[in-house]
A = this chain, B = another copy of it.
Amino acid sequence: MAKHYKRILLTGAAGRLGTELRKGLALLADHVRLADRTEIEDIQAHEEALTFDLSDEAAVFEAVRDVDAIVHFGGAPLETAWKTVLSSNIEGSYNIYEAARRHGVGRVVYASSVHAIGYHPLQAHIDTEAPVRPDSLYGVSKCFVESLSRLYWDKFGIESVCVRIFSSFPEPADRRMLWSYLSFDDCVRLVSASLTAPHVGHTISFGLSDNALKPVDNARAGHLGYRPQDSSEPFRQAIEARTDPADPGAAATRFLGGWFCELGHPDDEAGK
């Protein structure tokens, strides 16, 4: 059998997760087209690379040509000024979906974020249908793409998986990541499952490894077939040894979004 896809476009390919995803996508597509606003090195034989900004509508349109799936991990990865959020995440993602529609792309996997639902308390144990509660302008932009992709499925038939990534790093860096950790390998597993599941329609999935502490319920994404195989437990002892217990009353402890909930407004002096 041929691979699942002929050509996948990966945006944000130069980023922390993008670099990891390149390995996983190699197994799923004959060709992987890498896109980022910074130049990418080490291009492999099955890869091709493009450098442009997501707010450049024409460049996005060209990048999507001849593609049958998009893994959209580009855009600003953190809270930042409104103008940047607007341009990179809102307009940039609109450009991606419009190009997908015009070129007839069947499926998009989108890097949404815990920050779309960051103000839900851990104790609420929300599932993926809980109302959004963003914790930042960045989080609001993730909500925007989740609703935009919902429209593109309901009206234009383009499937999407919105992966709400929690904390994807080489290893858990602090006590919060003991429950919010998503290993790189599990991140690749989740994106791969999203690309190969038989039918996804419009699916929202939390992106977490199999950590001991489980603050959310991902059962509604069970049709993706994602099975995390990593956990933060092997790192627990070291983290607890070098950090103090969390303040149980702090917003960063109580809410899913962690310290994003304690940030001020990015356009204030104090917030910068």
Of A119, A129, A199, chain B has the most CB atoms within 10 Å of the CB of A199
Of residues 161 to 207 in A, which have CB atoms within 8 Å of B's CB atoms? 175-176, 178-179, 196-201, 203
Segment touching B, from A17-25, A30-38, A45-53, A245-253 = A245-253
If A144-B147, A156-B265, A242-B1 touch, whether A199 touches B135 (CB-CB below 8 Å) is no
A225 at the interface (CB under 8 A from B): yes
Q: Which residues of B contact A196 (CB under 8 A)?
A: 245
Q: Which residues of B contact A98 (CB under 8 A)?
A: 82, 267
Of residues 97 to 137 in A, which have CB atoms within 8 Å of B's CB atoms? 98, 101, 106-107, 116, 119, 121-123, 125, 129-137
Q: Which residues of B contact A130 (CB under 8 A)?
A: 129
> Are A1 and B140 interface neighbours, CB within 8 A?
no
**A223 contact from B122, B132, B261, Cβ within 8 A:** B122
6 A-B contacts, Cβ less than 8 Å apart? A98-B267, A122-B199, A134-B150, A134-B151, A176-B198, A201-B248
Interface residues of A (CB under 8 A from B): 1, 4, 82, 86, 90-91, 94, 98, 101, 106-107, 116, 119, 121-123, 125, 129-137, 139-140, 143-144, 147-148, 150-151, 154-157, 159, 175-176, 178-179, 196-201, 203, 211-215, 217, 219-220, 222-227, 240-246, 248-249, 253-254, 261, 265, 267
